[in-house]
């Protein structure tokens, strides 16, 4: 009887259209993410640095934060928010993509900012300071919705390579067995919006390269390093097809996002640079010849007890042997996305420490790369793991462990 019910359920899921699958993934996940999201203090300094410009844009149409000028003083810079001077005011140092996404929600939200006495995030010994604090609900909605939509787009991509029921389960595992839930959907990081645009680019690139490029452009506007994912996809497709057009078509869209970023940085920071308000130390780290330190950084990103990707999403280990079979079966856009994701992550770990800071559950830097590589990883399961009963059993156990761990992090905060 149970097997019959399971078979009927599977048949009904397999009969879903792509739109129905998308809604079956994105809808429930959005509700779950929103219910467990952080909507109060303590709020991570990085996420708060996205909330402030989103609130300012939504309520005043400006990214400038004159009421938060005190936060660039020595005791508070990098302690409550990452703000930097700009003209006669202050602004967030981060790219504007995440703020642009949340700004309409702040425009519609009825509650105004309230003056709170705020304590330091990184240096608790600093005296508390009174500043306007926007409501966190709009930021929570933007974060939860962006990650839920990303998982819906991944499910549609997965459906190209397997049954709808398998695609649905794969998307839910990507959502609940990684820090997509426990980090990206928890607060208004850059990761959630970036993941959404990358996943959408994957859906579009297989059919319309220019539209896929535009989605990549929005990912670049959110986090400039996402340009490596766009470049990897476009260049690989051009090499595979022996034509410059795929790279040019994807590049036009991606460059549009980069152009908006450069124009924004020119207007706000005085020069059309990719860095914007970031410190030049990231460039110095990326150019460093300390290859031993770089190698250590990459290894720790994979196996660190507190931040290791393979430690906290261990089911990925079982997918590694199947990558060869997956590569053989993968279309060009899947291969290119995976190459771009790997390039993105390698550059990220060259420019910054593997830990990504503190104050969040396990890892966060691999999220965009995982999104870009997700179709190839899914193919690894269908083409290799699913054909080996022992591998399936190990994969399921490790997947359950990952989902349990990230559920704990997401629910308890």
Structure tokens at 189: 């990081």
Task: Find the Cα–Cα–Cα–Cα dihedral 35, 40, 45, 51, rounded to 10°.
Answer: 80
pLDDT for the residue numbered 289: 66
Q: Report pTM.
A: 0.96
pLDDT for the residue numbered 19: 96
- Orientation of helix 227-241 relative to helix 191-205, angle to 10°: 20
pLDDT for the residue numbered 290: 77
pLDDT for the residue numbered 105: 98
In 10 A of CB 27, how many CB atoms?
A: 12
d(CA 352, CA 347): 9
pLDDT for the residue numbered 283: 66
Q: Report the candidate in 340, 367, 334 with the shortest Cα–Cα distance to residue 160.
A: 334
pLDDT for the residue numbered 51: 98
Buried b / exposed e over 344-367, threshold 16 CB at 10 Å, is bbeebbbbbebebeeebbbbbbbb
pLDDT for the residue numbered 282: 63
d(CA 237, CA 243): 8
In 10 A of CB 255, how many CB atoms?
A: 18
Report the chain (413 residues): mean pLDDT per 10 consecutive residues.
72 90 98 96 94 97 96 88 93 97 96 89 81 97 98 98 97 98 98 98 93 98 97 97 96 96 95 84 68 94 97 98 98 98 96 90 96 98 98 98 97 83
Q: Report the candidate in 363, 377, 370, 366 with the shortest Cα–Cα distance to residue 406.
A: 363
pLDDT for the residue numbered 120: 78
Cα-based distances in Å from 176 to 254, 267, 389 = 29, 39, 23
């Amino acid at each position: 009887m149970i097997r019959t019910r399971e078979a009927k359920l599977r048949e009904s899921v397999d009969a879903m259209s792509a739109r129905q699958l998308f809604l079956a993934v994105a809808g429930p996940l959005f509700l779950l993410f929103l219910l467990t999201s952080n909507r109060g203090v303590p709020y991570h300094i990085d996420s708060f640095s996205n909330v402030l410009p989103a609130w300012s844009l939504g309520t005043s149409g400006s990214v400038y934060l004159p009421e938060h000028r005190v936060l660039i003083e020595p005791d508070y810079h990098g302690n409550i928010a990452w703000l930097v001077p700009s003209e006669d005011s202050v602004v967030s140092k981060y790219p504007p993509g995440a703020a642009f996404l949340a700004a309409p929600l702040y425009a519609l939200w009825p509650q105004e900012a309230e003056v709170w006495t705020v304590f330091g995030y990184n240096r608790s010994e600093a005296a508390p300071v009174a500043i306007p604090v926007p409501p966190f609900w709009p930021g929570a909605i933007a974060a939860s919705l962006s990650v839920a939509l990303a998982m819906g787009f991944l499910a549609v991509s997965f459906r190209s390579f397997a049954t709808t029921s398998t695609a649905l389960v794969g998307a839910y595992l990507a959502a609940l067995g990684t820090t997509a839930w426990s980090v990206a959907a928890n607060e208004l990081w850059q990761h959630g919006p970036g993941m959404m645009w990358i996943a959408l680019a994957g859906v579009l690139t297989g059919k319309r390269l220019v539209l896929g490029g535009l989605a990549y452009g929005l990912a670049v506007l959110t986090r400039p390093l996402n340009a490596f994912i766009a470049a990897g996809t476009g260049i690989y497709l051009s090499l595979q097809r022996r034509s410059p057009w795929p790279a040019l078509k994807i590049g036009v869209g991606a460059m549009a996002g980069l152009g908006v970023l450069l124009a924004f940085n020119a207007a706000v920071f005085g020069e059309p640079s990719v860095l914007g308000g970031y410190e030049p130390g990231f460039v110095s780290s990326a150019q460093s010849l300390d290859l031993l330190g770089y190698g250590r950084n990459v290894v720790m990103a994979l196996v660190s007890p507190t931040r290791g990707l393979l430690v906290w999403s261990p089911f990925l280990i079982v997918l590694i042997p199947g990558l060869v079979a997956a590569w053989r079966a993968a279309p060009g856009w899947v291969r290119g996305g995976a190459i771009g994701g790997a390039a993105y992550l390698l550059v990220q770990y060259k420019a910054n420490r593997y830990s990504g800071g503190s104050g969040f559950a396990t890892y966060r830097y691999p999220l965009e790369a995982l999104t870009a590589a997700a179709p190839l990883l899914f193919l690894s399961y269908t083409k290799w793991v699913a054909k080996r009963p022992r591998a399936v059993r190990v994969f399921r156990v490790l997947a359950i462990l990952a989902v349990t761990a990230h559920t704990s992090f997401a629910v308890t905060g």
